[in-house]
Amino acid sequence: MNHKENTHEKSEMSVKRYVMVYTIGFCVLFLAAFALVFITGKGLLWTTDAKPQYLTYLQYMGQYMRDMIRRALQGDVTLRMFDFSIGMGEDVRSVFRMHLTDFLSVLIPSRYTEIFYNIMMVVRYYLAGLAFSAFCFYRSLSRFRTLAGAMVYVFCGYVFHFGVKHPVFTAPLIFLPLLLIALDRLIRKKRGWVLLYSFMVGLSLMTNYYFLYMNTFAMGVYALLVFGEIYPKGQGRAAEFGRMMWRIVSGYVLGCGMAMVFFLPTMARLMNSVRVGSGKELEMSLWHYPSLRSLSVLMNLITPARDAGSATYLNFAVIVIPAVTILFVRKWREHWRLKVVWLVELMLLVLPAGGYMMSGFSAFNNRWTYLVSFTAALTVTVMLEELQKMTLRQMQALAGITAVYGVLTIIFRRDDIRTWAAFVQLLLCTGILLRMNRKKLWSGQAGRRILAGIVCVSITVNGMCTFVPFITTFLYELYGWNEAAQSMRDSEYQYLAALPDDEFYRTDSHLVVDNYENMPIFLGYHGISLYNSVVNGEEVRYHKELENAGISAIHRIYSMDGRAPMEALANVKYYMTKVGEEKAVPYGFSADEEHSGQDYLIYQNDYPLAFGYTYDTWISEEDYEAMDGLTRQEAMLDGVVISPNADVTGMQQYALKSYATTEKPVLLSSDETLKIKQNGTVYRVKEANASMKLSYQKKAGYEAYLHFKNLQNDTEYSRIYVNTSDLQKKIVVRGLTRDYSLGRTEYLVYLGYSETEGEDTMDVIFGSRGKYTMDDYEICYIPRDEYAQKIAARNEGAMQEVTFSMNRIDGTAVLKEDRLMVLSVPYSSGWKVYVDGEKITSFRANSMYTGIRLSAGEHKIELRYTTPGLILGGEISAVSVLIYLGLWMMIRKRKKVQECGIQ
């Protein structure tokens, strides 16, 4: 990592010519590595996250910006900050991805968003290679070696997996080299150092704070190593180190300050979610992985399409092994800084504490391995031409490494074609390098062509192995060209989007499945479902507290599962189901033939609650917490659950009572692959989809629920299906220590309302192999004879004449007595409530909604929304930008003075 290495080579290729050669090489290698993707008609859009999140959000962002420009041209500069189509209502910032290329979506009509998405994916890979090249140019490294390193940097396991699955994961690949350039200039006190450094820090924070956190770690290591290079031992070294740290920290703080208008709202959302402080226990020791993990990491340096564990995708071009071998065989003082970086990164890879720390102490994963990609690419860049003049000792070391890799392949991975592909590559590469060195056959252009060929062939093989169907299933996880958006437009949810919109209401359906949770955002209607990295914590806790089967994780909400009280409290007016599954429809909903389709039916709520409904009875949080999920659901029809800051003077307290009766279903039979032990508390599933058949009674006038008590499993993720004669349901069971786990063990499954007596059967199907435990299962029955009266009581003094406008909700209410009103909007500090023009204090009501107290009489109610953290963040950013501009003017003035002095 010497700053002036091979300076005589830097003019071998002009920058302009380099960019041209790099562009051609990138295009060729991209087409080769991703050939199977395009030959099979696929695109770079992953089914799990890209369709419901990234594509949907990109389309939303483009439409949002176009609407904002259109309104601005008409004189309306109001910034829309809240949208009810995002889940049950979320801040718009929750679906904005601030990568610079995403802002180009403003130019793209919605129907072309998927094409734009695919193009931008390729552009980001391309920019990552250019950013790496810029770093190498700054370090005065050879253009040819830089070209090889750039290709290794771009076409690696991190990009083949994370870079395809998550577009935002390509951002740190672009920012890391540019941050290091800016940091290096700052350390060396080059002209304008603070401007470039602060700007890059601010831009990185605006784009993604998560990866800036990781990049900051890399910057710290880089600063320590470069300081030793610039300032050798001697007097005043400590003082100079202090001054360097002052420049780094102050410039970093200034850059962060400029991005606070984006960062503080993001942090406000994160702190209000359950991703922080969820209490998830550590699933493994911090200090050791399972056996052979270290070996797997080393072998997977060049093994294509393999995860070494904890999302550790390395999978570099085979040239990395010879380059690293030669690096470490050389004397320690030669490139010792690069060796130190390798040792630090390998330590982080083989210790769980490394991934845990680098992920922000939230999970055991190695999403930071793009740092290893940078180190590997830089090693190739530095050592590439050294491979043409290896000593006997170096050749012996490389031959030994190759032999060891072959032995390990035979012993541990003899059945893995991917490891054999890596070994064959390494064997051929080693053979070529040894023969060329022993025979001294290298010549300038011929040698470079051979090295370039090794890199290109290896990248092509690794890419092909990533997507070839008989090696991995990744190809099947990608959508066909322009297929994802069309599948959402043609989905059954179009029936919900086509419903009349002359008043506010929400829709729901038990048919929401994976990858379709964000259909309300995509099609522009009001629903329940949401899939997002960060979800309002109050909403997640609400579903968990009511033991709802319609939520699978802290970031994935499907529905209210057809539970009538939950649907009413959520202001749901329409419900959709398939023909033949009418029993899944909530109690109190009638068929709406006008809006139904041939295969899908729309039902309308006969007992809807107003947007703002009222109570004269309150439930303390202590009493609420003592209830089970079904009792909580029913109790909220009789009284409002309040937070401690609510004023309940003159109101009556709820008297605890029971609502449900229970019966044990009869076990009729079970599959041979399902072993039930210990009096029905342990279920060992030997084959996926093993089932047991149960019999239960339907009761006239009652809803039925299947309740799993203390249900747990020993797998990371599994589904349990509950199928009766007239409906199909599922629940998702996650291990308590796994990422995104709700930490739940209680599950309620709505089985429908019955108007007649009779017996029915159900199949309980365990979707995955493993061990399941539960204390018991039972059928719970809820009568609905008083439901209509309870809804009518809640609608007394309800909010009337409700209107929705930009960041604002208005309505009126006429009350005969003091009441507590609950507004059907998720509780958030961003909402401010005004009654008759005066601001009042709201409180969290019914676990997730917004509550206010109203006195008897006629009132005008107004809700105004401002993104939490936006104002403070904007103020900090404004001050920071002024400071930045002041520094820019000062530096510019000083430059002019110096130029005048020279003249």
Whether the CB-CB separation of 497 and 526 falls below 8 Å is answered with no
Residue 1 has pLDDT above 70, yes or no: no
Does the pLDDT value for residue 895 go beyond 90? no
The pTM of the full predicted model, rounded to 2 decimals, is 0.93
- What is the mean predicted confidence (pLDDT) over 566-585? 95
Which helix (DSSP H) or strand (DSSP E) does residue 874 occupy? helix 870-902
SS (H, E, C) 589-637: EEECCCCCCCCEEEEEECCCCCCEEEECEEECHHHHHCCCHHHHHHHCC
Share of the chain above pLDDT 90, in %: 83
**Which residues, at least 6 apart from 318, have a Cβ–Cβ distance to it below 8 Å?**
302, 422, 425, 426, 429, 454, 458
Look at residue 506 and give its three-state secondary structure.
strand
Q: What is the pLDDT of residue 464?
A: 95
Q: Which residues contact 474 (CB under 8 A, 6 or more apart)?
A: 161, 305, 466, 467
Show Cβ contacts of residue 61 under 8 Å, excluding neighbours closer than 6 positions: 95, 96, 97, 102, 103, 105, 106
d(CA 698, CA 760): 7
Contact 613, 798 (CB under 8 A): yes
Q: How do 506-509 and 572-578 pair as beta strands? A: parallel
Q: What is the pLDDT of residues 65-97, one digit of tens each?
A: 999 999 999 999 999 999 999 999 999 999 998
Contact 405, 169 (CB under 8 A): no
Residue 507: enclosing H or E segment and its boundaries? strand 506-509
Number of residues that this document lists for the chain: 903
Residue ranges of alpha helices (H) inside 527-573 are 537-545, 564-569
* Tokens read off for 80: 């829309």
What is residue 415's three-state secondary structure?
coil
Strand pairing category for 617-619 and 640-641? parallel
> What sign does the CA torsion over 260, 264, 266, 267 have?
positive
The answer on pLDDT for 280 being more than 70 is no
Query: In sequence order, what DSSP letters do the residues of 658-676 get, joined into one string?
Result: ---EEEPPEEEEE-TTEEE
If you write DSSP's letter for every residue of 471-487 in order, what string do you get?
T-SGGGGEEETTHHHHH
Distance CA 222, CA 179 (A): 11
Average pLDDT over residues 705-720: 93
DSSP string covering 664-713, please? PPEEEEE-TTEEEETTTTEEEESSTTEEEEEEEEE-TTEEEEEEEES-EE
- Compute φ and ψ for 559, nearest 5 degrees: -165, 180
Give the whole-number percent of the chain exceeding pLDDT 70: 97
Distance of alpha carbon 729 from alpha carbon 350, whole angstroms: 41
- Over 50: is that where the pLDDT of 249 sits? yes
pLDDT at 3: 44
Mean pLDDT over residues 713-732, rounded?
92
- Residue 410 or residue 897, greater confidence: 410
Q: Which residues contact 540 (CB under 8 A, 6 or more apart)?
A: 273, 274, 551, 554, 557, 742
- CB contact burial 852-890 (16+ within 10 A = b; e otherwise): bbbeeeebebbbebbbbbbeebbebbeebeeebeebeee
Tell me which of 741 and 204 has the higher pLDDT: 204
* pLDDT reported for residue 577: 95
Pairwise CA distance, residues 176 & 372, whole Å = 12
Count of C-beta atoms within a 10 Å radius of residue 75: 6
Mean pLDDT score of the chain? 93
Q: What is the largest distance, in Å, between two alpha-carbon atoms of the chain?
A: 102
Q: Say whether 194 sits in a helix, a strand or coil.
A: helix
Q: What pLDDT score was predicted for residue 8?
A: 43
pLDDT band at 175 (very low <50, low <70, confident <90, very high): very high
Beta carbons of 43 and 479 less than 8 angstroms apart: yes
Mean pLDDT of 267-288: 72
C-alpha torsion sign, points 555, 558, 559, 560 = negative
SS3 for 833? Answer: strand
The confidence score (pLDDT) of residue 228 equals: 83
The whole-number pLDDT of residue 293 equals: 81
Please compute the mean of the pLDDT values over residues 198-216 and round it to a whole number.
96
Residues sharing a CB contact under 8 Å with residue 485, sequence separation 6 or more, in sequence order: 55, 59, 111, 113, 114
What residue type is assigned to position 106 of the chain? Answer: V
What is the C-alpha separation between 896 and 903, in angstroms, rounded? 11
User: Up-side HSE of residue 600: CA atoms within 13 Å toward CB?
Assistant: 17
pLDDT at residue 5, rounded to an integer: 43
Which spans in 720-851 are helix H?
A: 787-794
Confidence label for 4 from pLDDT (cuts 50, 70 and 90): very low
Q: What is the pLDDT of residue 279?
A: 42
Strand partners, 761: 695
**C-beta of residue 505 within 8 angstroms of C-beta of residue 492:** no
Q: Where are the alpha helices (DSSP H) in 169-236?
A: 171-187, 193-207, 209-230
Q: What are phi and psi of 479, to 5 degrees?
A: -85, 150
pLDDT computed for residue 901 by the predictor: 65
Please state, in angstroms and rounded to a whole number, the distance separating the CA atoms of residues 746 and 545: 9
Compute the average pLDDT of residues 443-455. Answer: 87
Cβ atoms of 869 and 841 within 8 Å: the answer is no
Mutual orientation of helices 392-412 and 320-329 as an angle, nearest 10°? Answer: 130
722 Cβ contact partners less than 8 Å away, ≥ 6 residues apart: 706, 728, 729, 730, 731, 749, 751, 762, 763, 764, 765
pLDDT at 860 over 50: yes
Q: Find out whether 538 and 844 touch, Cβ atoms under 8 Å.
A: yes
Q: 598: pLDDT confidence band, cut at 50, 70 and 90?
A: confident
- Residue 610, both tokens: 């107003």
Determine the pLDDT at residue 235: 67
Residue with tokens 């060195």: 437
* Cα gap 575→40, rounded to integer Å: 38
pLDDT at 7 > cutoff 80: no
pLDDT at 283: 56
Q: Can you give the pLDDT at residue 10?
A: 43
Query: Can you tell me whether residue 857 is helix, strand or coil?
Result: strand
Chain segment 650-702, per-residue pLDDT in tens: 999 999 999 999 999 999 999 999 999 988 899 999 999 999 999 999 999 99
Residues 6+ apart with CB under 8 A from 319: 148, 152, 380, 384, 387, 429, 451, 454, 455, 458
